[in-house]
Amino acid sequence: MIDRPTIQGACELLLLLIQLPAIALLLSRLLKGPTRYPPIQPRPSQPQDIGTVSAVVPTLNEAQRISPLLVGLSRQSYELREAIVVDSHSQDGTPELVKAAGEQDPRFRLIQDDPLPPGWVGRPWALHTGYLASNPKSEWILGLDADTQPHPGLVAGLLEVAQAQGYDLVSLSPRFILKYPGELLLQPALLMTLVYRFGPTGTPETPERVMANGQCFLCRRSVLEALGGCAIARSSFCDDVTLARYAAQQGYKVGFLDGSQVLKVRMYDGAWDTWQGWGRSLDLKDASSRPQLWQDLAFLFAVQGLPLPMMALLLFWQLGGSASPILGYALGLNGFLVFIRFALGGAIASAYDRQDAQYPWLFWFSPLADPLAFLRIWLSSTQSSIQWRGREYQAQ
């Protein structure tokens, strides 16, 4: 009969064999941070860029949060030719807010999309509709979500970098506005799942590992035309990443950069809303192969979901008198992972606006929510249907 110390030793050895390769991969990604492209800065308009950009904003019942976006767009210079709001028959007064903004700024244009075709998800359908309705003289299409808050100079700054660096499609990570305690704990832990899987923003990746953020993306019209608009991402709940990876596979230059100096976003209210909303697309299963998805899940489990519970268990074994050299190694390894995670809190702090937050110091304890963040990604990865904005979709 195998005794308990033998079983415990085998578990500790297995833990080391699983986590050591994962740590090496994690460090190889994080070490790219010092070489990443610097944050986008707001810029004044340039005469040669006047009228080169058409913005497209998909909306569905966004009356409670669209006003900062409308104000922000109205404060952009005239490189922004037009701002097309594609509304999916909102019932909360969203169209009236857009019409009122249009009375102050003639660049705003409200259209309604046709009924959702079979096989399409609402957001890519609205973006595709807006792209088709945009002025053909605009050289660039700018996609923005209704919950974003653009700073003056966003469009000019983004356009300058795209042209200078030769990007065909570039998207930005925003500065997230956090207010409530649950958000302060859970949201940074969920964001960290992306940092662990893909490294810091502004670092290059292979096409199958490209990241993107549809909350703010800029794409050449000629590239969208060549790609067939948003049709390639029609059934994807991470249509931004699906489109960006497809563009990269076709040889176009794709970038994902730090936009925290030019863009804010207020996504969700409270922990439950954050749990439900981010889980819609954070697993990226619609843009990944099944082997890649499960490899990422195993990696996240090893470096983010496991360390805190494992440290508690290993300390329990050690205090119970079951100390061994392997236990010491395993405890040190997981302590190192926990240390990295708390240190990364400082690295991502600039990505958060906590000025109006209740108990803003809770942000620094977000590593305690890492096991929950992994659980959310795992649940979303195995989900068979998704409800979003009152629509129910079956997984493709």
Tell me the per-residue pLDDT of 272-295, one tens digit each, with 9 for 90 and over: 989 988 766 788 888 888 999 999
Q: Is the pLDDT of residue 344 over 70?
A: yes
Q: Is the pLDDT of residue 396 over 60?
A: no
In eight-state DSSP terms, residue 279 is: T
pLDDT, average across residues 139-158: 97
* pLDDT class of 19 with cuts at 50, 70, 90: confident
Q: Is the pLDDT of residue 12 over 70?
A: no
More confident site: 324 or 203 = 203
- The tokens of 381 are what? 């990865």
Q: Is the pLDDT of residue 170 over 60?
A: yes
Each residue of 323-336: pLDDT tens digit? 667 777 888 889 99
Would you state the pLDDT for residue 3?
54
For the chain, the average pLDDT equals 90
pLDDT, average across residues 49-68: 94
Long-range Cβ contact pairs of 330-333 (< 8 A, separation 24 or more): 330/12, 330/15, 330/16, 333/15, 333/16, 333/19, 333/20, 333/23
Would you state the pLDDT for residue 144?
97
Would you state the pLDDT for residue 1?
46
Contact 257, 40 (CB under 8 A): yes
Would you state the pLDDT for residue 11?
64
- Of 278, 256, 257, which is closest to residue 267 (Cα–Cα)? 278
pLDDT, average across residues 296-318: 89
pLDDT, average across residues 356-372: 95
Q: How far apart are CA 269 and CA 331, in angstroms?
A: 37
Q: Is the pLDDT of residue 383 over 80?
A: no
Residue spans per domain, the chain = 4-34+290-382, 47-191+198-284
Beta strand segments in 291-384, E: 352-353
More confident site: 302 or 319 = 302
Cβ-based neighbour number of residue 260 at 10 Å: 20
For residue 322, the Cα-to-chain-centroid distance in whole angstroms is: 43
What 3-state class would DSSP assign to 88?
A: coil
Each residue of 172-191: pLDDT tens digit? 999 999 999 999 999 999 99
Each residue of 226-269: pLDDT tens digit? 999 999 999 998 999 999 999 999 999 999 999 999 999 998 88
- Of 286, 288, 283, which is closest to residue 193 (Cα–Cα)? 283
Is the domain spanning 47-191+198-284 CATH 3.90.550.10? The answer is: yes
Give the percent of the chain with pLDDT over 70.
Answer: 91
Would you state the pLDDT for residue 391?
60
- Looking at the DSSP bridge assignments, the partners of residue 263 are 150
pLDDT, average across residues 337-351: 94
More confident site: 10 or 377 = 377
Contact 172, 257 (CB under 8 A): yes
Q: Is the pLDDT of residue 297 over 70?
A: yes
Q: Is the pLDDT of residue 356 over 90?
A: yes
* pLDDT class of 129 with cuts at 50, 70, 90: very high
- Of 342, 376, 146, which is closest to residue 273 (Cα–Cα)? 376
